[in-house]
Amino acid sequence: MRNRYLRPARHLPEIYLYRAPVDFRKQANGLALMVELELGQSPFSGALYAFTNRQRNKIKCLMWEDNGFVLYYKALAEEKFKWPSPADELMPLTGEQINWLLDGVDISLLKGHKTLHYDAVG
């Protein structure tokens, strides 16, 4: 696998995927305002927030780093990102999962079997 240098770090403690499509005319301040007003979270916490456009062919990641916002932007030449359906506004991710998403993996399918709890066999 090729090295990817401009990617979110795999050890980021907080990563959130915003599931609904976003107007991609919004830049860092507009996305930060959305995090603050719509999600009720602080955009200055150091958490990474990932957004996509309506066509699902672009992604923006927003993160506060010490003294300013970092805005990561990727536009696909072909295909679309495999974005989970908007059941809830935010979906927590790991650093590995956000990188899988950027690679085109459908992260909504990465679920194991449900845990079962029984009191008796018979």
pLDDT confidence of 116, banded at 50, 70, 90? confident
In-domain check, residue 49 = yes
What is the chain's mean pLDDT, rounded?
87
For the residues 10-24, what does the mean pLDDT come to? 90
Asked if 89 contacts 20 with a C-beta cutoff of 8 angstroms, the reply is yes
Between the alpha carbon of residue 34 and those of residues 22, 63, 78, 118, the distances in Å are 10, 13, 28, 43
Range of the domain at 54: 15-109
Which residue's entry shows tokens 């679920």?
A: 111
Query: Which pLDDT does position 30 carry in this prediction?
Result: 97
In-domain check, residue 88 = yes
Number of folded domains that form the chain: 1
Q: What is the pLDDT of residues 63-95, one digit of tens each?
A: 999 999 999 999 998 989 888 776 767 888 999
**CA angle (1, 60, 47) in 5-degree steps:** 90
Sort 105 into a burial class: Cβ within 10 Å, 0-12 / 13-18 / 19+: middle
pTM equals: 0.82
Query: Which pLDDT does position 113 carry in this prediction?
Result: 57
In-domain check, residue 43 = yes
Total H helices, total E strands in the chain: 2, 5
